[in-house]
């Protein structure tokens, strides 16, 4: 065969290159009807080209990657291409499987993890630019540039917080932790990941479309008058939402149906429980925000007036719909971090997780209550007056189950035998930061204090303490804990500890003063502020840049340890959950024989003589250990 | 031991907080309620904060493992402690919510007012109408000691009328009227700012409110040209 012949043959197979070609073709095909209409003299808004072109691109991209091949073959009654199937299972061994449409949950986990860690770095750089503007009174950037940078930072970080633990660590570890070979719907799992790259590309390109200046909350009518970049934001958010819903169904079915023998619900590792609750929230809430954003999109594109007061629409309706998702979304970010933290604590305290059942109940309670608190974002919005009181009560009530996370963590370390490896340091950092975030949250749940504090830097400080202090600290705890498992190598403890202390001190130095700035009346989302607040803002900016610099240590440690770290062995932390009972990294099929579980996941201490799984679990069919 | 450290630090912390003023300026009856609530929440927060921090640091020192492979005792829970924690935190938050409700009713419960003002927000400026007096102004001027109802309206996008010194804010929503009550207690000049992102000029959407003695206020009203048009 000639060289061009093989290249053609390769293009006929699903691949990244074919995905890109498919995407470009889809872009043209999607926009084509409008191009024709424009040629015929119809006036078409630029937003129309962007919307249809993007939808075409998304479908073409997925088709090129091979998403629909087996489904189409099934629908048409044709045989499925076995070679493609084998490739999709990730058996290709080499690194190229990370750049293919691959159904192995471990490959998808790594894809999510690396994609969103990269996004974390990009959004972090944007945060440093925001702090550059705010370092001194006066303006460096034009206001619309600043607004775009601030809005893009916020939106990207929301995606990072939503997806890194769930998509990355969740995909990788949930099947391993429950003793399954894969997720329930491996192909949907891959679909949920591959929806993400075009969406992220679109929002990263939003400056080309004039940027967007509405913040990630995108309140109408402002969002209606904003530039085309706003639409990039809307389309991206909707796509990420679809991806989350698909992935949520997959997690729920996986945990419900794929648990191995003996893995009862009350033996589930706490991290799995946290994802179960999280994905239930995602499934119920995400379609609401997707609707709100779609209505916003239609208001812009085809002249519906859902949120336009002049035509009978209502801007406050958008706020209700938006926060009905976006407050539960905070728990979508935080609960997996609770899970990761409570997963790490028993291993490094060498003691069973304290009050496991109560912790499980608290997750469920958080999941239920999270739907009843959304309007605390709207105490000054002009919503119905009486509604303030029940929402204040429900919001403050959610601190009861959230408090149980601290109770459980403290109860576990009490009388434990603590080992301060890097993951455990992140747990302690989490307890401190999330405690500050939780306590200051009460100030915002209480209506009288919220009246003065809302929309100020107090809120900025509060949610960074909950999302960074909660989700990011939990992510680092989980990442450093499971790194040996998914890479097979140990991370440098020395660099890990340097990164922890550097990041934690810089984070607190940067955000603690913002509470005070907020009390002084410094508003959110402004490009400039009164001169007398300059000194403290400069301090916060320098500290924020230090947070950014600390990430260089992490990136170096992450890459270097993955490439050349000492081999970890199966179970370097001597943990008892199932993922540590297989090789590092685990084999493609996870378990040669599915394990049989005979006790809870945290049986540390004097009575825990036997392993968490029966000895037969890893023996061959003939009964001999392999 | 840990309990004693917690008790001592909590008492010291609460003693340090009680009686302080947290807001930089308290220039209205509403801000008094808000500041009192800020102090109350801080008083309740101190023992909680100290409890967790002492528990964490005490454990970190006391329960640090040597380099042996020792394991902790196999304690899975403690029924009474768990129930106590849940009930304790539940009672605490219900108390806070009740206190917050009282404060809210103090600030917004009374629907009467001595003076009506309309705050008209548009991108990116404020205008203030005094419907009862037939005047309009770019700057807000209020008499001290009177309860004022400020009806907030917007012509274009969502804005928010915020006066940090008064301790209150209220969104301006196109298509509806929202209300804010404030009773200034201190004469002086304070900042008004838009607190809801409203586009390009958001940062610069500021104005001022001057609070004066009623007699001065009447004199100021007399000097204003009567409002034309609507």
Q: Using one digit for the tens of pLDDT, what is the confidence trace for A530-548?
A: 999 999 999 999 999 999 9
Question: Which residue of B37, B76, B104 is in closest CB contact with A388?
Answer: B104
Is B188 contained in some domain?
yes
Helix, strand, or coil (residue B181): strand
What average pLDDT does range A415-422 have in this prediction? 95
Chain A CB contacts of B202 below 8 Å: 143, 525-526
Judge: B203–A143 Cβ closer than 8 Å, yes or no: yes
Per the CB < 8 A criterion, the answer to whether A59 and A51 are in contact is: no
Per the CB < 8 A criterion, the answer to whether A483 and A556 are in contact is: no
User: Is B225 at the interface with chain A, CB within 8 A?
Assistant: no
Q: Is the peptide bond before A373 cis (omega within 30 degrees of 0)?
A: no
Same domain, B147 and B98: no
Judge: A519–B73 Cβ closer than 8 Å, yes or no: no
CATH of the domain at B141: 2.60.40.420
Chain A CB contacts of B41 below 8 Å: 442-443, 446, 449
Distance CA A398, CA A328 (A): 11
Helix, strand, or coil (residue A527): coil
Judge: A411–B168 Cβ closer than 8 Å, yes or no: no
Q: What is the distance in angstroms between the Cα of B72 and the nearest Cα belonging to chain A?
A: 5
Chain A CB contacts of B79 below 8 Å: none
Judge: A606–B74 Cβ closer than 8 Å, yes or no: yes
Nearest 10 degrees: Cα torsion A203, A205, A211, A212: 0
Chain B CB contacts of A147 below 8 Å: 197, 199-200
At residue A621, does pLDDT exceed 80? no
Global pTM? 0.94
Q: Which of A348, A176, A184, A203 is nearest to A258 (CA)?
A: A184
Same domain, B100 and B121: no
Q: Which two tokens stand for residue A101?
A: 């449409």
At residue A187, does pLDDT exceed 50? yes
For residue A318, give Cα distances in angstroms to A119, A225, A309, A514, B2.
Answer: 28, 15, 12, 29, 49
Beta-bridged to residue B207, according to DSSP, are B192
Same domain, B125 and B189: yes
Same domain, B122 and B102: no
At residue A203, does pLDDT exceed 50? yes
The H-assigned helical ranges of A164-226 are 171-178, 186-194, 196-204, 222-225
Distance CA A571, CA A579 (A): 9
Structural domain count of chain B: 2
Could you count the other beta carbons within 10 Å of the beta carbon of residue A349? Answer: 29
Q: What is the distance in angstroms between the Cα of A384 and the nearest Cα belonging to chain B?
A: 10
Give the residue from B38, B196, B201 with the most A CB atoms within 10 Å of its CB, the best one to mutate: B196
| Residue range A567-612, pLDDT digits in tens | 999 999 999 999 999 999 999 899 989 999 998 999 998 555 444 4
Judge: B193–A523 Cβ closer than 8 Å, yes or no: yes
| Residue range A468-491, pLDDT digits in tens | 999 999 999 999 999 999 999 999
What does the mean pLDDT of chain A come to? 92
Confidence of residue A618 (pLDDT cuts 50, 70, 90): very low
Q: What is the distance in angstroms between the Cα of A369 and the nearest Cα belonging to chain B?
A: 14
Count of CA atoms in the C-beta half-sphere (13 A) of A124: 21
Same domain, B89 and B131: no
Same domain, B126 and B86: no
Residue of A nearest to B30 (CA): A448
Could you count the other beta carbons within 10 Å of the beta carbon of residue A1? Answer: 8
User: Is B108 at the interface with chain A, CB within 8 A?
Assistant: yes
User: Is B156 at the interface with chain A, CB within 8 A?
Assistant: yes
User: Is B196 at the interface with chain A, CB within 8 A?
Assistant: yes
What does the mean pLDDT of chain B come to? 94
Q: What is the pLDDT at residue B109? A: 82
Q: What is the distance in angstroms between the Cα of A390 and the nearest Cα belonging to chain B?
A: 9
Is B123 contained in some domain?
yes
| Residue range B90-145, pLDDT digits in tens | 999 999 999 999 999 999 888 889 999 999 999 999 999 999 999 999 999 999 99
At residue A356, does pLDDT exceed 90? yes
Q: What is the pLDDT at residue A91? A: 59
User: Is B21 at the interface with chain A, CB within 8 A?
Assistant: no
Same domain, B156 and B199: yes
Range of the domain at B137: 115-223
Is B229 contained in some domain?
no
Q: What is the pLDDT at residue A626? A: 38
Same domain, B92 and B159: no
Distance CA A616, CA A618 (A): 6
Question: Which residue of A357, A406, A417 is in closest CB contact with B65?
Answer: A417
Chain A CB contacts of B191 below 8 Å: 521
Judge: B198–A222 Cβ closer than 8 Å, yes or no: yes
User: Is B32 at the interface with chain A, CB within 8 A?
Assistant: no
B 110-149 residues with CB < 8 A to A? none
Q: What is the pLDDT at residue A89? A: 67
Q: What is the pLDDT at residue A605? A: 82
Q: What is the pLDDT at residue A609? A: 45
Chain B CB contacts of A144 below 8 Å: 200
User: Is B79 at the interface with chain A, CB within 8 A?
Assistant: no
Is B67 contained in some domain?
no
| Cα torsion A618, A621, A624, A626: sign | negative
Residue of B nearest to A142 (CA): B200
Same domain, B49 and B12: yes
Judge: A219–B197 Cβ closer than 8 Å, yes or no: yes
Chain A CB contacts of B195 below 8 Å: 380, 454-456, 523-524
Task: Point out the residues of chain B with pLDDT beneath 50.
Answer: none
| Residue range A241-273, pLDDT digits in tens | 999 999 999 999 999 999 999 999 999 999 999
| Residue range A363-396, pLDDT digits in tens | 999 999 999 999 999 999 988 888 999 999 999 9
Confidence of residue A614 (pLDDT cuts 50, 70, 90): very low
Q: Which of A156, A146, A191 is nearest to A171 (CA)?
A: A191
Find the range with the poorest average confidence among A80-94, A172-186, A266-280.
A80-94
User: Is B212 at the interface with chain A, CB within 8 A?
Assistant: no
Per the CB < 8 A criterion, the answer to whether A594 and A618 are in contact is: no
Judge: B202–A525 Cβ closer than 8 Å, yes or no: yes
Q: Which of A418, A372, A414, A420 is nearest to A394 (CA)?
A: A372
User: Is B198 at the interface with chain A, CB within 8 A?
Assistant: yes
Give the residue from A404, A449, A517, A607 with the most B CB atoms within 10 Å of its CB, the best one to mutate: A449
Is B28 contained in some domain?
yes
Considering chain A, tell me which residue range(s) the CATH 1.20.210.10 domain(s) occupy: 82-564
Is B153 contained in some domain?
yes
Q: Which of A106, A108, A95, A103 is nearest to A587 (CA)?
A: A106
Chain A CB contacts of B108 below 8 Å: 385
Distance CA A600, CA A262 (A): 10
Per the CB < 8 A criterion, the answer to whether A22 and A63 are in contact is: yes
Q: Which two tokens stand for residue A239?
A: 């796509």
Give the residue from B51, B92, B158 with the most A CB atoms within 10 Å of its CB, the best one to mutate: B158
At residue A4, does pLDDT exceed 70? no
Judge: B170–A420 Cβ closer than 8 Å, yes or no: no
Length of chain B: 230
Is the CATH number 1.20.210.10 carried by domain A82-564?
A: yes
What average pLDDT does range A310-324 have in this prediction? 94
Chain A CB contacts of B173 below 8 Å: 309, 315-316, 381-382
Judge: A219–B193 Cβ closer than 8 Å, yes or no: no
Question: Which residue of A221, A388, A446 is in closest CB contact with B157?
Answer: A221
Largest CA distance in chain A: 82
Judge: A451–B164 Cβ closer than 8 Å, yes or no: no
Question: Which residue of B53, B72, B97 is in closest CB contact with A604?
Answer: B72
Give the residue from B56, B87, B166, B192 with the most A CB atoms within 10 Å of its CB, the best one to mutate: B56
Same domain, B99 and B119: no
């Amino acid at each position: 065969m000639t060289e061009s012949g093989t290249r053609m043959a390769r293009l006929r197979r699903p691949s990244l290159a074919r995905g890109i070609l498919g995407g470009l073709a889809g872009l043209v095909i999607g926009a084509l009807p409008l191009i024709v209409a424009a040629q015929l003299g119809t006036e078409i808004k630029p937003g129309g080209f962007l919307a249809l072109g993007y939808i075409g691109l998304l479908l073409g991209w997925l088709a090129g990657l091979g998403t629909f091949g087996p489904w189409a073959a099934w629908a048409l009654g044709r045989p499925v291409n076995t070679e493609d199937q084998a490739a999709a299972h990730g058996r290709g061994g080499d690194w190229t499987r990370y750049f293919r449409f691959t159904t192995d949950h471990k490959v998808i986990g790594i894809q999510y993890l690396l994609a969103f860690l990269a996004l974390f770095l990009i959004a972090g750089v944007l945060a440093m630019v925001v702090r550059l503007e705010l370092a001194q009174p006066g303006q460096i950037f034009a206001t619309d540039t600043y607004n775009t940078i601030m809005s893009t930072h916020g939106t990207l970080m929301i995606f990072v917080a939503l997806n890194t633990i769930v998509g990355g660590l969740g995909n990788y570890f949930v099947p391993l932790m429950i003793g399954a070979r894969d997720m329930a719907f491996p192909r949907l799992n891959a679909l949920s990941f591959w929806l993400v790259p075009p969406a992220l590309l679109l929002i990263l390109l939003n400056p080309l479309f004039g940027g967007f200046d509405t913040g990630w909350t995108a309140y109408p009518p402002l969002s209606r008058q904003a530039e085309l970049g706003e639409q990039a934001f809307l389309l991206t958010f909707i796509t990420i939402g679809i991806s989350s819903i698909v992935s949520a169904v997959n997690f729920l079915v996986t945990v419900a149906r794929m648990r191995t023998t003996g893995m009862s619900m009350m033996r589930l590792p706490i991290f799995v429980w946290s994802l179960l609750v999280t994905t239930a929230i995602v499934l119920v809430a995400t379609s609401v925000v997707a609707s709100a954003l779609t209505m916003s999109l239609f208001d812009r594109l085809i002249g519906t007036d859902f949120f336009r007061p002049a035509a009978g629409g209502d801007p406050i309706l958008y706020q209700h719909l938006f926060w009905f998702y976006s407050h539960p979304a905070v728990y979508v970010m935080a609960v997996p971090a609770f899970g990761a933290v409570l997963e790490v604590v028993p291993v490094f305290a060498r003691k069973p997780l304290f009050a496991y059942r109560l912790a499980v109940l608290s997750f469920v309670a958080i999941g239920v209550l999270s739907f009843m608190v959304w309007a605390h974002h709207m105490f000054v919005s002009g919503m119905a007056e009486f509604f303030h009181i029940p929402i204040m009560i429900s919001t403050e009530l959610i601190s009861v189950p959230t408090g149980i996370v601290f109770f459980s963590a403290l109860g576990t370390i009490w009388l434990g035998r603590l080992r301060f490896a890097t993951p455990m340091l992140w747990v302690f950092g989490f307890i401190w930061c999330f405690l500050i975030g939780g306590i200051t949250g009460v100030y915002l749940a209480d209506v009288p204090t919220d009246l003065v504090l809302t929309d100020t830097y107090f809120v900025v400080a509060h949610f960074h303490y909950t999302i960074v202090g909660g989700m990011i600290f939990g992510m680092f705890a989980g990442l450093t804990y499971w790194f040996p498992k998914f890479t097979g190598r140990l991370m440098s403890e020395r660099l890990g500890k340097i990164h922890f202390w550097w990041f934690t001190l810089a984070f607190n130095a940067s955000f603690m003063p913002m509470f005070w700035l907020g009390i002084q009346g410094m508003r959110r989302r402004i490009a400039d502020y009164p001169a007398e607040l300059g000194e403290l803002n400069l301090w916060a900016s320098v500290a924020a840049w230090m947070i950014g610099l600390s990430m260089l240590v992490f990136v170096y440690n992450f890459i270097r340890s993955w490439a050349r770290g000492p081999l970890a062995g199966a179970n370097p932390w001597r943990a008892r959950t199932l993922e540590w009972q297989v090789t590092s990294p685990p084999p493609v099929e996870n378990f040669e024989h599915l394990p049989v579980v005979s006790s809870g996941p945290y049986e540390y201490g004097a009575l825990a003589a036997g392993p968490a799984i029966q000895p037969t679990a890893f023996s061959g069919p003939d009964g001999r250990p392999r | 031991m840990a309990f004693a450290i917690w008790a001592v630090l909590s008492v010291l912390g609460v003693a340090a907080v009680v009686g302080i003023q947290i807001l930089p300026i308290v220039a209205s009856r509403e801000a008094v309620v808000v500041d009192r609530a800020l102090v109350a929440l801080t008083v309740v927060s101190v023992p909680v904060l100290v409890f967790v921090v002492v528990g964490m640091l005490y454990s970190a020192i006391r329960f640090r493992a040597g380099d042996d492979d020792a394991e902790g005792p196999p304690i899975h829970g403690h029924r009474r402690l768990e129930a106590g924690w849940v009930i304790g935190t539940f009672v605490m938050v219900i108390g806070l919510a009740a206190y917050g409700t009282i404060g809210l009713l103090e600030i917004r419960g009374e629907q009467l007012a001595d003076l009506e003002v309309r705050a008209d927000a548009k991108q990116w400026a404020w205008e203030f109408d005094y419907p009862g007096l037939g005047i309009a102004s770019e700057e807000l001027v209020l008499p001290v000691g009177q309860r004022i109802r400020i009806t907030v309206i917007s012509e274009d996008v969502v804005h928010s009328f915020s006066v940090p010194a008064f301790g209150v804010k209220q969104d301006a929503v196109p298509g509806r009227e929202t209300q804010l009550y404030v009773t200034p207690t201190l004469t002086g000049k304070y900042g008004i700012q838009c607190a809801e992102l409203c586009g390009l000029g958001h940062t610069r959407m500021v104005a001022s409110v001057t609070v004066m003695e009623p007699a001065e206020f009447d004199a100021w009203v007399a000097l204003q040209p009567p409002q034309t048009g609507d």
